[in-house]
Amino acid sequence: MKTLNQFIEEQLKEDGFRKEYEKIQPEMDVIRALVDARISQNLTQKQLAERTGINQADISKLENGTRNPSLNLLKRLAEGMDMVLKIEFVPKQKV
C-alpha cells in the first residue's frame, strides 16, 4: 500500500496535477503551520478559541481549509499561542 506522500509524489509527475498542487501550496502551508503550532502548545481548538476570542468553529474552518484567514486573524492566533507571526518570501526553486 502506498503512503500519501508516495501517491502525491507520483501525481506530481503529471503537469496538470502539479500546477494545481502548486497553486494551493501557500494555503496548505498556512494550515499546516497553524495546526502544528497549536499542537506544539498542547492546545485544543476550544482552548485556542478561549484564548483568542475567535469562535472554535472558525478555527476549525481555518484548519480544514474552508476559510481563508486575514493577517489580523493570524496575528490573534499567534498571540493566543504566545507566538509571533512570521511571514516570508523565498525564491522559487529551479527545477
The answer to whether position 21 is within a domain reads no
Q: Which amino acid is at 67?
A: R
Global pTM value? 0.81
Residue 50 sits in a domain whose CATH number is 1.10.260.40
The answer to whether position 90 is within a domain reads no
Contact status, residue 17 vs residue 6, Cβ threshold 8 Å: no
Mean pLDDT, to the nearest integer, of 1-22? 89
Distance CA 9, CA 11 (A): 6
CB atoms within 10 A of CB 11: 13
Domain that holds residue 66: 27-80
The total number of structural domains in the chain stands at 1
Name every residue whose Cβ is closer than 8 Å to that of residue 6 and which is 6 or more positions away in sequence.
none
Residue with cell 499546516: 32
| pLDDT confidence band for 93 (50 / 70 / 90) | confident
The pLDDT tens digits of the residues spanning 34-86 come to 999 999 999 999 999 999 999 999 999 999 999 999 999 999 999 999 999 99
The answer to whether position 76 is within a domain reads yes
The pLDDT tens digits of the residues spanning 51-62 come to 999 999 999 999
Indicate if the pLDDT at residue 95 is higher than 80: no
